[in-house]
Structure 1
Amino acid sequence: MSDTKTALVTGANKGLGYEIAAGLGARGYRVAVGARDRARGEAAVKTLHAAGVDAFAVPLDVTSDRSVAEARHLLDRLDVLVNNAGISGETGPGWVQDPTTLDLDMVRGVVDTNVYGVIRVTNAMLPLLRSSPAPRIVNVSSSVGSLTWQSDPAVEVGPVMAAYSPTKSYLNAITVHYARQLAGTGILINAACPGLVATDFTGFQGRPPHEAAATPIRLATLPDDGPTGAFFNDAGVVPW
């Protein structure tokens, strides 16, 4: 087996996921570009190749057991998993998701991608990660999932997003439980808040994706004595 480490990034064909993939590739990782749309994944790989990154496309729909299982069989090694794929769900004016009028089918869809998808992919990839000398898992979260900040009137946390925000709270919580269960295995798992990122997800408001990728990349490349079960942004630990 090659000594080159392999990283899988879900939702990596564009935006933040693409920049995480590019950043890891620039650090010498072979990057598996997870993308729900095969053609878009292959297009992203072509662009990464032009930038000198060793990359290959992995068709991957995180909401599908079959797709995740098929993706697993395309990998012969995995050292880093970045669970980046996510959706916001439909919003009203001002990005608001009013809890008093939520469509439950929409909520189920957001939870399936943002939470169940992370669990589905992580559990499928764990056997490969356990064989890595330095396995790392990064769950891309958001400060809107911080209960501390959301409940503090003095903190500016943006609009009410009663479908999206709780999925990030759930993601933060499940990250802690993975860390507890995997303690002593060498697998470090943390949640990363990239901040408001200028992608189609946000209507291109926020900072450039390559800047927002810094914290996920740092957590993906932690030393063996690095933290686990924590939630970080660029400034440090985010309160839960």
Structure 2
Amino acid sequence: MDNSIALVTGANKGIGKEIARQLASAGHTVYVGSRDAARGERAVEEIGGDARLLVFDVTDAASIADAARQIDKLDILINNAGISGDDRSADREDVDTFRRIYETNVFGVVMVTNAFVPALRRSAHPRIVNISSGTGSLTWSTGPQFPHRGTYAAYRSSKAALNALTVYYAHALAGDDIKVNALAPGLRRTDLNATAVASDGDPAEAAAGAVRLALLPDEGPSGEFFSWDGTPVPW
């Protein structure tokens, strides 16, 4: 996996930016996916190495198609871009919020992945990493691990859907030797939502877990869900 070409969506800030930085520091070419050109340019400068700006919106099909035309071969796709609503249960959340969150966290991943699969098929060691959430685990959500049940319903359900897609893509792309896995990054200090803003979790720790999956050896797993520290997470 030396000198790989990677694309990280939502890489102008937070965990995505740290993933891009770690990949670039390891000598890989990294396309910094950003919806905002100015923020993306600043991120590229701060990341350094062979970081390159790729401006596109994961919810805009034409924007994604234009970005895909700019990359002929891709070794690593990290679907990191994601948004979260407020701390509301399903019965208190309006359907428009569900739609808005799913547009980025679910439909955006489908559009981006499908657009870049042709480029991934030209790689000798293609990898896809979907940045999910431990709060999307149905096992954990119905067990003693998460005592605060029902909160962030739109966000958490979108991540449960993303987990299902991870399995389906792993099955569909197995014949192309494309490994597809999901990562639970843990609660990190980002601007995702009020809970994350108040956290003291280091984004670099989560990013290291994503990089590990991005650089899996050929005998590595596919269609699995891992925590940032490499331990399996139940679906």
Give your verdict on TM over 0.5: yes
**Kept in 1: contact 2:136–2:157 (CA 8 A):** yes
TM-score normalised per structure 1 = 0.92
Instruction: Work out whether 1:221 is the aligned partner of 2:220.
Output: no
What residue in structure 1 maps to residue 145 of structure 2? 155
Contact 1:138 1:216 in 2 (8 A): yes
Asked if residue 239 in structure 1 is aligned to residue 229 in structure 2, the reply is no
Identify the residue that residue 83 of structure 1 maps to in structure 2. 79
Distance in 1 of aligned mates of 2:208 and 2:3: 21
> Match for 1:203: what amino acid?
V
Matching of residue 170 in structure 1 with residue 161 in structure 2: yes
Residue 62 of structure 2: aligned partner: 66
Give the gaps of 5 or more residues in structure 2. none
Q: Secondary structure at the match of 2:180?
A: strand
SS at match of 2:33: strand
- Once the two structures are TM-superposed, the CA of residue 235 in structure 1 deviates from its matched residue by 4.4
1:146 aligns with 2:137: yes
In structure 2, the CA distance between the partners of 1:235 and 1:77, relative to structure 1 (3 Å rule), is closer
Instruction: Output the aligned Cα RMSD.
Output: 1.3
> Given that residues 4 and 30 in structure 1 are in contact (C-alpha distance below 8 angstroms), is that contact kept between their aligned partners in structure 2?
yes
Q: Is the 8 A contact 1:41 1:57 kept in 2?
A: yes
Query: Structure 1 vs Structure 2: percent identity of aligned residues?
Result: 51
1:130 corresponding residue in structure 2: 121
The alignment partner of 1:200 has SS state of coil
- Letter in structure 2 aligned against 1:36: R
Q: Does 1:190 align with 2:181?
A: yes
Number of residue pairs matched?
229
Displacement over 3 Å in runs of 4+: none
> What code does the residue aligned with 2:12 have?
N
2:9/2:79 contact within 8 Å kept: yes
1-structure distance, mates of 2:17, 2:217: 23
AA paired with 2:215?
A: T
CA contact 1:143–1:157 (8 Å) conserved in 2: no
- 1:180-229 per-position Cα deviation (integer Å, ceiling 9, x unaligned): 11113210000001100111112141411111111111000000010000
